[in-house]
A and B are shown apart, each in its own frame.
Chain A
């Protein structure tokens, strides 16, 4: 049954993607289609990256209300970008190849994640400790970013703004290729390891007892999460609750946490939300709002709902 629900989610995702591409086609159709196809590619990447990253993080931390951004992972990416603007200046920053900037920010993220988050996740502290530490680290990274942002001149600041807000309308086109490769590789690795991930969801004792090398596996999964968060943040900026929203919906739809079902279902629902939401906002509501705001609002509601219904684990 759960498998059939995945196909349902996939069909919905395809429908929304088609709507995004095909609604209100006017003027030079080839040109519009190309533009939209590139945007859709970015949205699909972000959707898959956020969905998979959230599932993986929830699995290794053993609770279902965490998302990478509650843990401050995307703030880490932004800190890297801000530091680059600070060091190079706005003009210098704009002149650097975005791919190079991405790689630098990614390297900083991997380093910091290894230093800060790995010990936290390995020790598997209680949910409260994890949440508090993650939230504090997020605040620390964001404060550092805004401190640096205050130190730069207004022109540089304008450059920085471009990268620090979620924007589904104008994804960073230069990063599409590298993002597609990274997302595909990370998603494929997660899929191949789906049975191991199922076992890891039992917690360290259960997983070790079943022969999983917990320390290395956690490090590997965390690396995947960092890669995926970097991709999505680089493409459209930080999205706090999207992951939580789609994983909670996927779990509700399929009624299981088996990764063979949950991973594709969450990814398909994320595509549905992003492509469908964008299509509705653009064509139905005439661009009245930005998708980022709507997704954050809904995701925030789901977060509160999960807390209120006591579904914390």
Chain B
């Protein structure tokens, strides 16, 4: 006999993500999920973001990696609380992992939580973490065709950072083609060309993020 189930495979993750979103909202905490390939400059961008925003906002970072605590150490060295999640091989973070990480943070006194997802342009796309925004970082050396090859992550992101623009002279990166591809997939997402390590463009990105955080605080 046929037994109807009609159940989403993402149901459990989405239910936990909704609970997280409620907790974040009650505490007026803005949460951004940073997604990118390994080596695109997630940690460097986060450090530059902390540097620009730490005077105005209380910030914490949740670091997702398959193994090691190298990234969390870099964040802690900047004087910011960091929780390391080791996924032990899993290719993305899930809402249950964020729930455990958030339990050790003091939500009441935080304004911004930056989640650094596992380096991967595919898997994080499908998993809601209760965040306010996903932000995708692409770096110039990866090539301008990546939105065409990995459309999902560009579609679900609320903003796009193009990192390492200072290396543009070394690579055959067509910024206009990149912008067109992103706009077709996600016309509402702003694109921020930056160099996280040289500081170029970081102000425009952090001003946008600060605006988003203030909006959450005013509600």
A and B are interacting partners? no
